[in-house]
């Protein structure tokens, strides 16, 4: 099969496995250059197949020597369908660590389901005994309510008044004006249900009650605070309400983890990156392009991997933790520098910038978006036939289980 990019509503409906293999080689070469540190031994990552979860998995496996279980929800490839990028990330991650004296397992299916929690619990009991860290890095547009059977969808919308701005249509490479109408109360509630803290809490409490948390156990999830440039669509919008709920789960979990395990629940406000989830949020492509432009020029730009590596080495397991007055880890401090935010704001509010698509930051944003899906990767000939069946036979093994 010859695989060409297929994009719908800023979402890739396919992926290029050979490009993803090369990207994994690049990540592995990058992480091998980063410092080693003392970290957790056994880690469970919910959402470890792409974006921040994958960067977390690479950091902990390569720099801290951790064993990992990853739960993600990806479309599996077949002879006639490429499957999603995360499917191949999981297979190629396994290939990259196959000679390590570590255990790495993948479960593919719905992390929200009781069945997945049970399967993972049994696997922890069987393979690890106990875990030292649970990372909750899930980003989803929908969550099944297992009590009623309903599928609840999130809605990324402002609250109270419309959000006016621009976005990039990545397929046509045009900048489009955009007005997003405010959410209804129901949409706010649904977004909190899908992207808030209740499922993270359920995971930790299920494992706690089963007695598989180690002394010193930690759990962490990733929020986004941002500033005025993203406020109307993000922090003051439906997703912001969900993030408030996620942040509040820390307090509830700490009440159990601190006294019983001398452990802790943490929330890190992480910087804006290019991921499947972030590109989908209206206005973010414009903000992230300008941000990359400014931060690259300032030499404060970090790759997704560098960002997560610094988080775990310095702020989760090191002694350089930066906290705000709500107790959140502010690894995003470089993005949030007042001067950076001001330059980005000026750029976002200037009249039409004809060169926008040519800016180095925009090009970096677009290139990364293609590359996380395996396209536009140097050294990969996209005119070449790809034999998906042979790749699946070679890389898909018993470490990857569908639940």
Give the nearer residue to ligand NAD in terms of CB position, either 331 or 380: 331
- The least CB distance from residue 285 to ligand NAD, in Å, is 11
Task: Single out the residue of 135, 66, 74, 131 nearest to residue 97, CA to CA.
Answer: 66
Pick from 202, 282, 270: nearest CA to 238: 282
Residues 134-173 touching ligand NAD, rule: CB under 6 A, are 137-140
Q: 10 or 270, CB closer to ligand NAD?
A: 270
Please select the residue that binds ligand NAD; options are 275, 340, 341, 373, rule is CB under 6 A. Answer: 275
Specify the residue, 138 or 347, whose C-beta has the smaller distance to ligand NAD. Answer: 138
| Between 8 and 211, CB nearer to ligand NAD | 8
For residue 218, list its beta bridge partners.
Answer: 133, 264
Contacting residue, 276, 301, 328, 330, with ligand NAD by CB under 6 A: 276
Q: What DSSP designation does 7 have?
A: E
Q: How far is CA 231 from CA 108, 221, 243, 282, 374, in A?
A: 34, 20, 13, 12, 31
| Residue 293 is a binding residue for ligand NAD (CB under 6 A) | no
The mark string for 59-78 relative to ligand NAD (x by CB under 6 A, - otherwise) is ------------xxxx----
Burial-class residue 308 by CB neighbours within 10 Å (0-12, 13-18, 19+). Answer: buried
DSSP string over 335-366: TT-HHHHHHHHHHHHSS--TTGGGSHHHHHHH
Residue 273 touches ligand NAD, criterion: CB under 6 A: yes
Burial of 243 (0-12, 13-18, 19+ CB in 10 A): buried
In degrees and rounded to multiples of 5, residue 267 shows phi and psi of: -130, 135
Give the residue, chosen from 12, 88, 93, 112, that forms a contact with ligand NAD under the rule CB under 6 A.
112
Smallest separation, CB 391 to ligand NAD (Å): 20
- CB of 220 vs ligand NAD, minimal distance in Å: 11
By CB under 6 A, residue 272 contacts ligand NAD: yes
Classify residue 47 by burial, with Cβ atoms within 10 Å: 0-12, 13-18, 19+: buried
The catalytic residue positions are 234
- Minimum distance from CB of 246 to ligand NAD (Å)? 7
CB 70 within 8 A of CB 131: no
Distance CA 243, CA 355 (A): 34
Closest of 201, 221, 203, 225 to residue 332, by C-alpha: 225
Q: How far is the CB of 242 from ligand NAD (least distance, A)?
A: 8
**Shortest Å, Cβ 275 to ligand NAD:** 3
Supply the DSSP symbol for 245: H
List 67, 82, 270, 362, residue binding ligand NAD (CB under 6 A) = 270
Could you tell me which of 166, 15, 140 has the C-alpha nearest to residue 86?
Answer: 15
Whichever of 110 and 187 has its CB closer to ligand NAD, that residue is 110
Residue closer to ligand NAD (CB basis): 155 or 214: 155
Q: Segment near ligand NAD (CB under 6 A), from 58-66, 108-116, 184-192, 389-397?
A: 108-116
Q: For residue 149, with 0-12 CB atoms within 10 Å meaning exposed, 13-18 middle and 19 or more buried, which class applies?
A: exposed
Q: Which is nearer to ligand NAD, 50 or 289 (CB)?
A: 50
Does residue 224 touch ligand NAD according to CB under 6 A?
yes
Which one of 23-31, 219-227, 306-314, 389-397 is the stretch in contact with ligand NAD (CB under 6 A)?
219-227
86 forms part of the interface with ligand NAD (CB under 6 A):
yes
Which residues would be at the binding site for ligand NAD (CB under 6 A)? 47-53, 71-74, 86, 110-112, 137-140, 222-224, 270, 272-273, 275-278
């Amino acid at each position: 099969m010859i695989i060409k990019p297929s994009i719908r509503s800023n979402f890739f409906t396919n992926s290029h496995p050979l490009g993803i293999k090369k990207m994994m080689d690049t990540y592995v070469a990058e992480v091998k250059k980063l410092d080693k540190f003392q970290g957790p031994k056994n880690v469970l990552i919910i959402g470890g197949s792409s974006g921040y979860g994958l960067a977390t998995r690479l950091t902990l496996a390569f720099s801290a020597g951790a064993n990992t279980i990853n739960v993600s929800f990806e479309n599996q490839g077949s002879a006639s369908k490429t499957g999603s990028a995360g499917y191949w990330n999981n297979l190629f991650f396994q290939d990259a660590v196959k000679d390590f004296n570590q255990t790495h397992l993948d479960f593919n299916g719905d992390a929200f389901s009781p069945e997945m929690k049970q399967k993972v619990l049994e696997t922890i009991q069987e393979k690890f005994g106990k875990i030292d860290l649970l990372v909750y890095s899930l980003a989803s547009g929908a969550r099944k309510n297992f009590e009623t059977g309903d599928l609840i969808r999130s809605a990324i919308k402002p609250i109270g008044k419309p959000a006016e701005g621009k976005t990039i249509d990545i397929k046509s490479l045009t900048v489009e004006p955009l007005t997003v109408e405010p959410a209804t109360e129901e949409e706010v509630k649904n977004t909190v249900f899908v992207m808030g803290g209740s499922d993270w809490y359920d995971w930790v409490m299920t494992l706690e009650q089963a007695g598989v948390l180690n002394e010193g156990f930690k759990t962490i999830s990733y929020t986004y605070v941002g500033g005025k440039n993203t406020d109307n669509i993000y922090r003051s919008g439906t997703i912001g309400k969900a993030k408030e709920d996620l942040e509040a789960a820390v307090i509830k979990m700490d009440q159990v983890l601190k006294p019983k395990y001398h452990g802790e629940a943490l929330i890190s406000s992480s910087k804006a990156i290019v991921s499947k989830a972030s590109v989908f949020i209206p206005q973010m492509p414009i903000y992230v392009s300008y941000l990359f432009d400014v931060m690259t020029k300032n030499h404060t730009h970090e790759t997704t991997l560098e960002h997560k590596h610094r988080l775990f080495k310095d702020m989760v397991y090191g002694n350089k933790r930066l906290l705000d007055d709500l107790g959140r880890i502010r690894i995003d401090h470089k993005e949030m520098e007042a001067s950076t935010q001001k330059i980005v704001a000026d750029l976002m509010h200037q009249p039409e910038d004809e060169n926008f698509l040519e800016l180095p930051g925009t090009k970096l944003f677009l290139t990364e978006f293609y590359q996380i899906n395996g396209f536009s990767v140097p050294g990969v000939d996209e005119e070449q036939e790809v034999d998906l069946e042979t790749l699946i036979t070679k890389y898909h093994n018993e470490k990857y289980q569908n639940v």
